[in-house]
Homo-oligomer: A and B are copies of this chain.
Amino acid sequence: MIKVGVVGATGYTGSELLRLLVCHPCVSVEVVTSENYVGREISSVFPSLGGFLSLSCVKLDVEETAASCDLVFVALPHTESARVVSSLAAKGKRVIDFSADFRLRDSAVYEQWYGVKHSSPELLGKAVYGLPELHRSDIAEASIVANPGCYPTGAILALAPVIKEGWMDTESIIIDSKSGVSGAGRKLNLLFHFAECNESVKAYSIAGHRHIPEIEQEISRLAGDTVKVVFTPHLIPMTRGILSTIYVSIDGGHTGADVVETYREFYKDEPFVRVRNEGEVPSTLDTRGSNFCDIGVTVDQRTDKLIIVSSIDNLGKGASWQAVQNMNIVCGFKESDGINVPALFP
């Protein structure tokens, strides 16, 4: 039984995390912090938690949080997060960080995309990118786990098995992602006002989304070479889920069956990645409210394109569930503890 804290508990990743932690067999939640709800019972902020957790939101005090917790989840905006994480790490606490602050290894890339200097560049080398399928053993040793972004999780898992294959063209990658609106968080904005995004699809941050360098870092690492991607996120009128449709050019002669085999081999020991049969395509409803990433592949022989479709829950494998998976690895719990649940269908 470990004691954990959640810093920034009143956003969607925070509430989803609490939902998991209150049911986790090895965890006790000791501290929940908030900016906007200080002094309020967490179950009054989120009535769905009524009966599960009797804690009031407190203003963040790093000292106190460190004193009462073994491990801390930090769900703050970038730059703010870096300061808190580095303080907590300095006190010997293990931290799982939801922000982008420790995902990019190269502070110059961080500064280019985020437009600010990194406050703790010396820690970048120590933090581990928390995608267990790629970095499980490093995560187990990490003091800071940088929990991946939602889009990168779905995109990297979809690309990893082929990225090293000689028969694909690493300059041809196009990632077209469709996300539910909860991915945008709980901050008010006309873009996420019900009547403005209901019954509407829209692309945003075309060619400029901050998840691009994160995707490129990870697949470049796999490829052993610098890889660039085209990435377009879209906002979809639903609450949860990311479907990524990914296009890569391949040599002729490959079949869907081949590629399914390549993917199954790559993920054969992974409990949370499911490769679908040839001809089957995942939908976001298959993974909603779960830690799964479902992947389907199709070969377009007319055009020599491989089309990969991956489905995750942006708050699930794309955020809070993956954070719990990381905690399980960090703490030596069973990796699937508290997250081995089928999606909420329908």
Contacts and interface: CB of A to CB of B under 8 A. Distances in A.
A50 B274 contact: yes
User: Which 10 pairs of residues, A with B, have the shortest CB-CB distance?
Assistant: A207-B300, A202-B283, A200-B285, A48-B343, A195-B346, A188-B188, A48-B345, A181-B194, A176-B176, A201-B243
A300 B190 CA distance: 26
Nearest to A301: B207
A193 B285 CA distance: 13
Copies in the complex: 4
Contact of A206 (B52, B237, B307): B307
Contacts of A196: 285, 346
A48 B200 contact: no
Given A49-B342, A206-B281, A342-B49, A198 B198 contact: yes
A234, A292, A309 pick with most chain B CB within 10 angstroms:
A234
Contact of A194 (B198, B202, B232, B309): B198
Interface string A42-65: 000011111110000000000000
B243 A284 contact: no
B199 A238 contact: yes
A51 B274 contact: yes
Interface in A240-275: 240-241, 243, 245, 247, 271, 274
A118 interface: no
